[in-house]
Structure 1
């Protein structure tokens, strides 16, 4: 749908669902995904503004071959709202569900807040970890999120993505074999873990800071539609090994220690740390590959500045994995040899 057509549909949706007129629309900057968002100012509020979430044709390269497309935002948003989790208010949608009108949470995410106010890092990250425990306690419901899971197909997809784009050069057959064997080992560990509801992309850019909210209730989750079942460490990896905000090791250790006993499964410390490191490998390999792919194939170089952070997380996790299990030694050596962008 052309941008002008989308704007017309947004205006019509605001009129149909809220019986209000749009004063103006401002498109927000594009992200790695193809979905677009616009800030919409409306007459006779409240609300005085809202966010139009505009679906586009999905890029099938963003998921394993044969895997179902991401489900819609509803009903996972409604389920989490009913469970008392912080999600945006939903105002309505067009008849085809391609335009959703959501609460405008402002422009400050945890990414910006933690970067500009480092003294607030601990309380905000403690709150973010606590919401993970609450999310994992949500009872199963007959919606798509509980039919989706981090399985062997997802790990094979991530291994292939990393082999094609993550080394910053062509991957040799022997290197591809090392990558695939390592991801198969990670998949086996994940398959033996308990599965809990996970946001799937619980990183600082997807946690908005609500202005004026009370401590412990400042964060709001966005980008919920990809939720699936995964080991209990998965969202913690997304948050604490985020490429956009690099926590120091002392803070990361503190957050892991305080949240582990609060998780519904309260994993034993050794297996908890092992899974955390192995899931860091799969997550950061995927992130590195996507950053390099965006630069090479789309000409979008904005994310190359986060490659060094991503590589540091990969090197730490791969070294610890190899120290525990020599089978990861070749993989750790391969990661150690990836150059940082010049």
Structure 2
């Protein structure tokens, strides 16, 4: 079904469901998925967001279930006003147009990230049984994500051919990051917690794009936020903010976390995420024709270089990827 046909069907559904005569839809954005977002006016004059989320590719039921569960736990998420799961149409609360990314600066970063980290702590304090059913970020899940790098960055983008796994000790890297992830305490994990998935609405920070939430390691959302693929900060600020998180988190921990243990968790969990992200950025280009995400590849590679340089057991991977990273900076 073409975009125009789906847009017309979305308009008709909104008109019937919300008793609005032919609401005028103004596209506000698409994203890395196949979803499209439109703003329109309700009968009372307020605005809302209509979402075209094709059911063949999007997790619409999960989005609705998780949104309702998070809202019930007083976590800030957009309210779902109406949903047609079979058609892939949603109507959600309008949170405005201000993403965290747009208001971050050297002057505002420390306070805004403190608020975002407090939101992670609040999310992680939620009991599993109080949330919608979610997958576990287990060994198989971790490896599936790492394989995205192998399939799309190494093979589709680099066309590296056979033997690259041995040259970079790919299996050793997979084993090391998996071990660091699996030994952590597990909690609700947003899985894409960064500056483009947090909105500021009337001074409150609100989570969006949470339909892929899983039960996973506590460091994941923290490193997603602080080593964001789209915006980078000085190491001193990142270290300070990590400590801010640990200070907030300490009240919920049975035992303290040794600084060296935490740093390894943070680094290697981030490495897994950034390696996956490199594969996703290339997949978005090669498969979906979305080239804009290539702009994030150099910064993401820089994070990979920083972490692999720091750990002796990752030197083979560091030496293999270093010349590759230079080509993306050119």
Query: With structure 2 as the length reference, what TM-score do the two structures score?
Result: 0.88
Q: Does 1:171 align with 2:160?
A: yes
2:323 equivalent in structure 1: 337
**Aligned partners of 1:22, 1:313: CA distance in 2, in Å?**
48
Aligned-partner Cα distance in 1 for 2:4–2:286:
29
Deviation per CA, 1:214-265, whole angstroms, max 9, x where unpaired? xxxx211001111111110000111111111112212111110111132233
SS in 1 for 2:328: coil
Gaps of 5+ in 1: 61-68
The aligned runs of 1:1-342 (5 Å cut-off) are 1-45=1-45, 48-59=46-57, 72-94=62-84, 96=86, 98-114=88-104, 117-141=105-129, 144-145=132-133, 147-167=134-154, 168-177=157-166, 178-210=169-201, 212-213=202-203, 218-263=204-249, 264-265=252-253, 267-320=257-310, 322=311, 326-338=312-324, 339-342=327-330
Q: Check whether the contact 1:22–1:41 (CA below 8 A) recurs between aligned residues.
A: no
Q: What is the CA distance between 1:175 and its match in structure 2?
A: 2.4
1:294 deviates by: 2.4
| CA distance, structure 2, for counterparts of residue 158 and residue 144 of structure 1 | 22
Work out whether residues 55 and 86 of structure 2, in 8 Å CA contact, stay in contact via their aligned partners in 1. no
SS in 1 for 2:231: coil
- Give the secondary-structure state (helix, strand or coil) at the position aligned to 1:14: helix
Measured against aligned partners, the alpha-carbon deviations of 1:31-57 in whole angstroms (never above 9, x if no partner) come to 221122222233432xx2111122214
**How many pairs were matched up?**
320
Structure 1 length-normalised TM: 0.85
Report the 3-state secondary structure (helix = DSSP H, G, I; strand = E; otherwise coil) of the residue aligned with 1:138. Answer: coil
Contact 1:295 1:304 in 2 (8 A): yes
Shift of 1:89: 1.7
Q: Secondary structure at the match of 1:337?
A: helix
String of CA shifts for 1:73-132, please: whole Å, max 9, x gaps: 122111111211111122111263621111111222111221xx4421111111001100
CA contact (8 A) 2:54 2:87 kept: no
SS of aligned partner of 1:273: helix
8 Å Cα contact 2:49-2:91 kept in structure 1: yes
CA separation in 1, counterparts of 2:27 and 2:170?
Answer: 39
Please tell me the root mean square deviation across aligned C-alpha atoms, in Å. Answer: 2.3
Q: CA deviation at 1:293?
A: 2.6
Q: Are the counterparts in 2 of residues 21 and 42 from structure 1 also a CA contact under 8 Å?
A: no
